[in-house]
């Protein structure tokens, strides 16, 4: 009480007070653990990675400085082009569908009451807690070209069993579908939290005015849920740009040059071929791509939402 009084009565000394040594010290003590961890585990390795990308070096150990040669090689590398477009394709196939589907499911789940709501929500969330290896085995067997339980259905449409993970045009869409199934639970949770934050009084008022359900959605729910949508879209975008596990597992032994994403190119260069310098170069470029895309997306979407 008295603090606010002083602040309003004599603003200048109060502002000065903000920077008194004790407070700065306290702030430092609270922030320091994070800053140290962040610097040691993120900033330092990132700088090392950038430095490594200017070298011809094995995965671990010293190398020779070669300037921008790795970058020159990268832009001539056919595999980099393939990996880039595969990654973009995967992002297109997953980000918006996963967000919209999650919103639709969240609105549906939100209308349920009591234990029924918990049960349905749990059903959608359970896949999210599965490790990727389990997801791979489950779907691998369901789609197995000889014994998969889904093959009779596929044969109805295609006329014969289809090895989906060894048919190039089907590979990415199938893996994208599985990824959406696997990870959608978390997005639903975020949307439900967002929907619950919308005051029911607004809907009551709208209902009194005789507003249709669709109009309620477009005029109330959609604008008010927009910040959450932007958040989900951004999280999704970053996560899907880093796609590796599923594509690697389902593509292993197959035409990996045609199905690989950027992270897999990093893995192959650095870990399989022991070419740490080139792996770091791809990683730096991927890092820049993600930064540019997510900043752009976040800004654009936020601006649109504020209109």
For 147, phi then psi, to 5°, come to -120, 5
- DSSP H or E segment with residue 56: strand 55-56
Binding flag, residue 215, other proteins (CB under 8 A) = no
Binding flag, residue 245, other proteins (CB under 8 A) = no
Task: Give the closest residue to 280 by CA, choosing from 76, 71, 88, 81.
Answer: 71
| Residue from 257, 293, 298, 301 binding other proteins (CB under 8 A) | 257
Least spacing, CB of residue 6 vs other proteins, in Å = 57
β-pairing, 55-56 with 64-65?
A: antiparallel
Least spacing, CB of residue 100 vs other proteins, in Å = 33
Alpha carbons 23 and 44: distance in angstroms, whole number? 28
| Residue from 213, 255, 302, 304 binding other proteins (CB under 8 A) | 255
Alpha carbons 51 and 289: distance in angstroms, whole number? 18
Binding flag, residue 299, other proteins (CB under 8 A) = no
Binding flag, residue 216, other proteins (CB under 8 A) = no
- What string marks each residue from 48 to 87 as x (binds other proteins by CB under 8 A) or -? ----------xxxx--------------------------
| Residue from 254, 287, 294, 298 binding other proteins (CB under 8 A) | 254
- String of DSSP letters for 117-130: HHHHHHHHHGGGGS
Task: Give the closest residue to 164 by CA, choosing from 148, 184, 183, 182.
Answer: 148
Q: Which is nearer to other proteins, 267 or 287 (CB)?
A: 267
Token pair of 87 as six digits: 């990654």
Least spacing, CB of residue 203 vs other proteins, in Å = 51
Binding flag, residue 41, other proteins (CB under 8 A) = no
Q: Which residue has the tokens 């009480």?
A: 1
What does the binding site for other proteins look like in residue numbers (CB under 8 A)?
58-61, 140, 144-147, 163, 165-168, 252-258, 267-268, 271-274
């Amino acid at each position: 009480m008295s603090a606010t009084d002083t602040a309003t009565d004599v603003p200048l000394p109060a502002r000065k007070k903000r920077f008194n040594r004790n407070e700065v010290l306290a702030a430092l003590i609270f922030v320091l653990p994070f800053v140290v961890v962040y610097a040691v585990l993120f900033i330092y390795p990132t700088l090392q990675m950038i430095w490594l990308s200017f070298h011809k070096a094995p995965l671990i150990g010293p190398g020779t400085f070669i300037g921008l040669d790795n970058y020159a090689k990268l832009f001539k590398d056919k595999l980099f082009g393939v990996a880039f477009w595969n990654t973009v394709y995967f992002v297109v196939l997953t980000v918006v569908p996963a967000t919209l589907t999650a919103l639709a499911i969240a609105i549906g789940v939100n209308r349920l009451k009591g234990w029924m709501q918990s049960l349905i929500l749990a059903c959608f969330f359970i896949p999210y807690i599965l490790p990727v290896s389990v997801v791979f085995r489950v779907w691998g067997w369901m789609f197995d070209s000889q014994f998969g339980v889904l093959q009779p259905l596929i044969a109805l449409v295609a006329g014969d069993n289809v090895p989906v993970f060894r048919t190039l045009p089907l590979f990415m869409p199938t893996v994208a579908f599985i990824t959406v199934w696997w990870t959608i639970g978390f997005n639903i949770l975020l949307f439900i939290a967002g929907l619950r934050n919308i005051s029911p009084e607004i809907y009551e008022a709208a209902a009194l005015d005789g507003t249709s359900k669709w109009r309620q959605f477009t005029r109330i729910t959609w604008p008010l849920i927009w910040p959450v949508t932007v958040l989900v879209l951004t999280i999704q975008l970053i996560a899907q740009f880093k796609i590796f596990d599923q594509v690697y597992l389902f593509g292993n032994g197959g035409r990996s040059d045609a199905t690989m994403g950027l992270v897999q190119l990093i893995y192959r260069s650095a870990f399989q071929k022991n070419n740490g310098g080139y792996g770091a170069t791809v990683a730096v470029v991927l890092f820049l791509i993600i930064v540019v895309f997510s900043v752009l997306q976040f800004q654009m979407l936020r601006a649109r939402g504020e209109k």
